[in-house]
Amino acid sequence: MATEMPRTDVVVIGLGAVGGVAVLPLVNAGLNVIGLEAGGWMGTRDFAPDEIRNNIRDWPQAVPKAKNEIPTSRANINFEAVQGGGHPMMNGVGGTSLHYWAQSWRLNPWDFKTVSETTRRYGANRIPEDSTVEDWPFAYEDLEPYYDRVEYALGVSGNAGNIQGTLHAGGNQFEGPRSRAYPMPGLRSSGFTDMMGDAARTLGWQPFQGPAAINSEVYGDRPGCFYHGFCDRGGCHVAAKSSTAVTTIPEALKSGRLKVVTHARVLKIVNNADGRVTGVEYLSGNQVMFQPADAVLLASHTYENSRLLLLSRSKEFPEGLANNSGQVGQHYLSHHQGAPVIALFPKNLNNWYGLPAQGVAIDEWADDNFDHGDLDFIGGGNLWAHTDRKPISAAKMSTFDLVPNWGAKWKAFISENADRTNASYIQKTTLPYRGNYLDLDPLVKDRLGLPVIRITAEYRQNELGIAAFTQDRMEEWYRAAGAVQIIRAPLGTAMGTSTHAYGGTRMGDDPSTNVTDRYGFAHESPNLGILGASVMGTSGSRNPTLTAQALAWRTAEHLVANWESIAG
Amino acid sequence: MDKNKKNCIAQNQSQEGGGLSRRDLLKGAGLTGAALIAASSGAAIAQTPSLQAAPSRIPVAEAFETLTSAESAALDAFASRIIPSDDGTPGAREARAVHFIDRGLTGAMAASRDQYAVGLAALDSLAVERGGVAFSFLSAAEQDAIIEAMTQNAITAYPMLNAGFFNTVRTHTIEGTFSDPYYGGNRDFVGWALLGYPGVRIASSADDVSQGSALAPSRQSAYDMPAYTKDPVAGVQPEGVSHGH
Ligand SMILES: Cc1cc2nc3c(=O)[nH]c(=O)nc-3n(C[C@H](O)[C@H](O)[C@H](O)COP(=O)(O)OP(=O)(O)OC[C@H]3O[C@@H](n4cnc5c(N)ncnc54)[C@H](O)[C@@H]3O)c2cc1C
């Protein structure tokens, strides 16, 4: 029997990047909130500049939950799904925002209207036939106020390109209009990013510093970035990275209305005969607890969002909570962020103390920023040349087929070239397709005996077309900057687990193709809100988190504004 | 004695031990073939008399957590062909990559323990077949030929000596040579010096960055810095933590 806890207004499952944001507007409105978080608190002393720990051994997780539930994956149903790689989720207060790269992009307006804009400009037959893509149920302009709130609540640095329709040099000329500038200027540039920026200008492109949820100067009581070079999968030793653990969560705690319950692993969301949720069951140590609430917000990362719904079976929802439509797990996509181009330069780049969010971006080939009339794909990719180099990864650099990968010649090669190579990061439009989905693995279980998520998904012609096209542009860019050798990684096939995982609980007006309504509440269970990239139906050409956080704030505000009708 | 102290003493001892290889010692002792394998760890045992003769020139065997003496000898030889020191600058051996691997195999890398056991044993068997001695006693050229064949998956008699095993050892040798010395390798920061890496630091200014590898290196482990957790700091309770129900 579960031990029943005193009722609360709202339970938030998972206090990561998005759950950690949603709590703030809820407590600000006077609601009492309990955040159930599987991990524990981690502090700046836990975040040592240690490449083995961060990058080889999958980080010092507060608890090993994610490690024990790594999804299985396969390209399509003709293969057996196998478990492998790591799990991109971090368990801790702050979630994966503790150690993410913190690139903090808004989507481009086109990403919200992919179907209608493609149809208008090129004709409906340009939407890939096997894609299940839909327009978002609202436009960029509707989300803009929430982007703005989150950028200021967290602390995002960047150079605006478009403020209320006026273009500003040094920012992204293709971004949607923003109501005001970023709260802080962009992170500092480096010799390398300046060199890449100059090269881009010789090609007629308009380079700019990308936005980051990392302080470029003192913001509130937190310092600016120390640029020590261990940001990739490293938590910040000075709290300059604007994870929710050092921003919105402590801010919400000040109200006295947020209770953070750590080491609380949610097992099941419980519903009543009307299909409404009544609370959640969680494991604390070896004890099962029941936390009743008037509304539940599910914010446990894309894979776990679908998994918890599928595991929460009841008489009313025999195939999983809010899944009588069969839509939970559908429209899944792993962002196509692989297929890099790797360059070798004839001189040192001085990149030892950079960070992945300190980079220079090119948006000319992203989204619909260029004419696709003669091309065989829609969408595009954002080109990103960034700093960041650590010794082990430097030694593992590509040999560009110039030397063997061991022995005296190789030793001399890495000794000379360790700081002369750079790998680009190209994020590409990725679409949802029929046949790409998440479900529960029929065989593989975690340590509690609960099935892990199975990913069945592969990239299609559209993604591979973008990958080949953007690799050409990236090579051009590196060559213009003086690269003497170039290697292109393969374009990719199976999607696999991803740091950028979308879908599974897509948001949209049509309940037969979407799990949540336009505000993020389940069509089939109206007091269950779902937060995270799992509600997003398109990826855009850039990282998901700021958008997921803006959506989370919007869902929370909607709950506050409609408390009686949703939770009453 | 704690592990660091132990390593420190071992380091000092082995630093003095250069010059005479185990191969020379054991050849001198008249051991061959299987007997050599059995004794390959045991330079000190085999050569007790010479200890008195030239104590400062004798390599002293060091304690390993999981590797056997034969395994550690074969692995050290293997690793030092991946990152050799014949050019006169330190390589995997001087970095003590094998100690990194040994320690890793008892913890985070434990899943590879069996692969090492099987692979290193096969390496010695193959070496005995080819040259009558354990792998670590083959000449560098003979060792290289075996490793090269491994990378080509061309050792049909020992299918475990394949590119997969090579890649495991290569990866771990790189990690052991270039990781933070806290983990037992990269002794004296020889790996970081090889790459021109100026070391871990708390912060770097735009000026530091522009100097690149010409920047005066910071040669300390992350865990020598007081800013990071080594021992729990008593009495620190983050705000808002709730354990009680
Ligand atoms: C190395 C890396 C780099 C990245 N870089 C970027 C970047 O630069 N920009 C960007 O936009 N995105 C980036 N991402 C992605 C980003 O981290 C995620 O998009 C984001 O963290 C997702 O937010 P979330 O709140 O949905 O999940 P998370 O932040 O992962 O939070 C989920 C929380 O839920 C908890 N939880 C899970 N299951 C349960 C359960 N059953 N019960 C209780 N609690 C549970 C977890 O412990 C966790 O704290 C990166 C990811 C990685 C791994």
**Distance between CA A265 and CA A426 in Å, rounded?**
35
* Minimal-distance CA residue to ligand 1 atom 11: A545
Residues 31-70 of B with CB under 8 A from A: none
Q: Are A271 and A525 in contact (CB under 8 A)?
A: yes
- Measured CA to CA in angstroms, residue A416 lies from A33, A391, A409, A424, A462 at distances of 56, 13, 11, 21, 39
**Distance between CA A82 and CA A156 in Å, rounded?**
38
Burial of A287 (0-12, 13-18, 19+ CB in 10 A): exposed
Coil, strand, or helix at residue A344? strand
Do B239 and A262 lie within an 8 Å CB cutoff? Answer: no
Measured between CB atoms, does A290 come within 8 Å of chain B? no
Choice from A98, A157, A244, A301 to test ligand 1 binding pocket (greatest atom count within 8 A of CB): A301
pLDDT at A184 over 90: yes
- Sign of the CA dihedral running A395, A397, A399, A404: positive
Q: Which residues pair with A439 in a beta bridge?
A: A454
Q: Specify the pLDDT at position B60.
A: 61
Do A49 and B209 lie within an 8 Å CB cutoff? Answer: no
pLDDT in tens, A72-130: 999 999 999 999 878 889 999 999 999 999 999 999 999 999 999 999 999 999 999 99
Regarding the beta carbon of A61 and ligand 1, being less than 6 Å apart is answered no
Counts for chain A of helices (H) and strands (E), in that order: 13, 24
Buried b (16+ CB within 10 A) or exposed e, B83-118: bbbeeeebbbbbbbbbbbbbbbbeeebeebeebbbe
Q: Specify the pLDDT at position A58.
A: 77
Ligand 1 atom closest to the CA of A91, numbered from 1: 47
pLDDT at A403 over 90: yes
- Measured CA to CA in angstroms, residue A225 lies from A201, A216, A319, B165, B213 at distances of 27, 6, 47, 41, 21
**Distance between CA B218 and CA B208 in Å, rounded?**
12
**Distance between CA A201 and CA A19 in Å, rounded?**
40
Measured between CB atoms, does B229 come within 8 Å of chain A? yes
Measured between CB atoms, does B237 come within 8 Å of chain A? no
- Percent of chain A exceeding pLDDT 70 equals 99
pLDDT at A298 over 70: yes
Q: What is the mean pLDDT of chain A?
A: 97
Q: Specify the pLDDT at position B62.
A: 72
Cβ neighbours of B166 in A, within 8 Å: 406
Q: Which residues pair with A383 in a beta bridge?
A: A362, A426
Burial of A49 (0-12, 13-18, 19+ CB in 10 A): buried
**Distance between CA A51 and CA B178 in Å, rounded?**
9
Smallest Cα–Cα separation from A537: which of A491, A499, A488, A504?
A504
| Minimal C-alpha gap between A446 and chain B (Å) | 18
Cα A244 versus chain centre, distance: 14
**Distance between CA A470 and CA A466 in Å, rounded?**
6
Q: A with B: how many residue pairs have Cβ under 8 Å apart?
A: 151
- Percent of chain A exceeding pLDDT 90 equals 96
Do B195 and A391 lie within an 8 Å CB cutoff? Answer: yes
Closest by Cβ to A260, choosing from B179, B183, B241: B241
Regarding the beta carbon of A213 and ligand 1, being less than 6 Å apart is answered no
DSSP assignment of B43-71? HHHHTHHHHHH-GGGPPPP---SS--HHH
A108: tokens are 């481009």
Query: How many structural domains is chain B composed of?
Result: 1
Regarding the beta carbon of A539 and ligand 1, being less than 6 Å apart is answered no
Residue of A nearest to B211 (CA): A350
B235: alpha, beta or left, given left = phi > 0 and alpha = psi -120 to 50? Answer: left
Smallest Cα–Cα separation from A362: which of A201, A568, A567?
A201
Span A166-171, average pLDDT: 96
Smallest Cα–Cα separation from A525: which of A545, A547, A505?
A505
Measured between CB atoms, does B27 come within 8 Å of chain A? no
Has this prediction a pTM greater than 0.90? yes
Smallest Cα–Cα separation from B75: which of B173, B191, B150?
B173
Q: Specify the pLDDT at position A396.
A: 98
Q: Please name the residues in contact with A144: beta carbons below 8 A apart, sequence gap of 6 or more.
A: A176, A177, A178, A179
**Distance between CA B133 and CA B129 in Å, rounded?**
8
Cβ neighbours of A414 in B, within 8 Å: 194-195
Measured N-to-C along each axis, helices B113-131 and B140-151 cross at an angle, to the nearest 10 degrees, of 130
Q: Please report whether residue B145 resides in a domain.
A: yes
Measured between CB atoms, does A5 come within 8 Å of chain B? yes
Q: Specify the pLDDT at position B12.
A: 33
Q: Are A277 and A525 in contact (CB under 8 A)?
A: yes
Smallest Cα–Cα separation from A331: which of A80, A464, A512?
A512
Alpha helices by DSSP H, A151-259: 191-202, 248-253
- The number of C-alpha atoms within 13 Å of B34 and in the hemisphere containing its C-beta is 0
**Distance between CA A194 and CA B148 in Å, rounded?**
42
Cβ neighbours of A261 in B, within 8 Å: 242, 245
pLDDT at A512 over 70: yes
Residue of B nearest to A287 (CA): B245
Coil, strand, or helix at residue A386? strand
Q: Are A163 and A334 in contact (CB under 8 A)?
A: no
Q: Are A332 and A432 in contact (CB under 8 A)?
A: yes
State the DSSP code for A241.
Answer: B
pLDDT in tens, A19-56: 999 999 999 999 999 999 999 999 999 999 999 999 99
- Measured CA to CA in angstroms, residue A183 lies from A70, A175, A244 at distances of 37, 17, 17
Q: Specify the pLDDT at position B242.
A: 37
Cβ neighbours of A67 in B, within 8 Å: none
pLDDT at A63 over 50: yes
Ligand 1 mean position, distance from CA A523 (Å): 24
Q: Specify the pLDDT at position B61.
A: 64
Q: Look at B226 and A204; give whichever has higher pLDDT.
A: A204
Burial of B215 (0-12, 13-18, 19+ CB in 10 A): buried
Segments of chain B scoring below 50 in pLDDT: 1-56, 236-245
Do B182 and A353 lie within an 8 Å CB cutoff? Answer: no
A553: tokens are 């704030």
A208: tokens are 């700019």
Q: Specify the pLDDT at position B76.
A: 98
B52: tokens are 């008195």
Regarding the beta carbon of A59 and ligand 1, being less than 6 Å apart is answered no
Comma-separated ranges of CATH 3.50.50.60 domains in chain A = 1-157+211-329+438-449+501-568
Q: Specify the pLDDT at position B232.
A: 54
CA dihedral B98, B8, A48, A254 (to 10 degrees): 140
Ligand 1 mean position, distance from CA A17 (Å): 6
CATH of range A1-157+211-329+438-449+501-568; options 3.30.720.110, 3.50.50.60, 3.30.565.10, 3.40.50.720 = 3.50.50.60
Q: Specify the pLDDT at position A80.
A: 95
Residues 34-53 of A with CB under 8 A from B: 40-41, 43-52
Do A289 and B245 lie within an 8 Å CB cutoff? Answer: yes
Measured between CB atoms, does B156 come within 8 Å of chain A? no
Q: Specify the pLDDT at position A545.
A: 98
Residues 91-150 of B with CB under 8 A from A: 91, 108, 144, 147
Do A258 and B240 lie within an 8 Å CB cutoff? Answer: yes
Regarding the beta carbon of A89 and ligand 1, being less than 6 Å apart is answered yes
Q: Are A497 and A334 in contact (CB under 8 A)?
A: yes
Closest by Cβ to B229, choosing from A46, A349, A350: A46
Measured between CB atoms, does A284 come within 8 Å of chain B? yes
Ligand 1 mean position, distance from CA A334 (Å): 14
A512: tokens are 């037969």
Q: Specify the pLDDT at position A60.
A: 63
**Distance between CA A265 and CA A267 in Å, rounded?**
6
Measured between CB atoms, does A130 come within 8 Å of chain B? no
Q: Are A161 and A171 in contact (CB under 8 A)?
A: yes
Coil, strand, or helix at residue A334? strand
Regarding the beta carbon of A499 and ligand 1, being less than 6 Å apart is answered yes
Measured between CB atoms, does B81 come within 8 Å of chain A? yes
Q: Tokens 């099962």 identify what position? A: A288
- Measured CA to CA in angstroms, residue A124 lies from A120, A121, A127, B198 at distances of 8, 9, 6, 56
Q: Are A207 and B198 in contact (CB under 8 A)?
A: no
Q: Are A288 and B245 in contact (CB under 8 A)?
A: no
Q: Please name the residues in contact with A352: beta carbons below 8 A apart, sequence gap of 6 or more.
A: A229, A389, A390, A419, B197, B198, B209, B212, B213
Q: Please report whether residue B93 resides in a domain.
A: yes
Q: Please report whether residue B32 resides in a domain.
A: yes
- Domain extent, residue B79, equals 3-197
Measured between CB atoms, does A3 come within 8 Å of chain B? yes
Burial of B123 (0-12, 13-18, 19+ CB in 10 A): buried
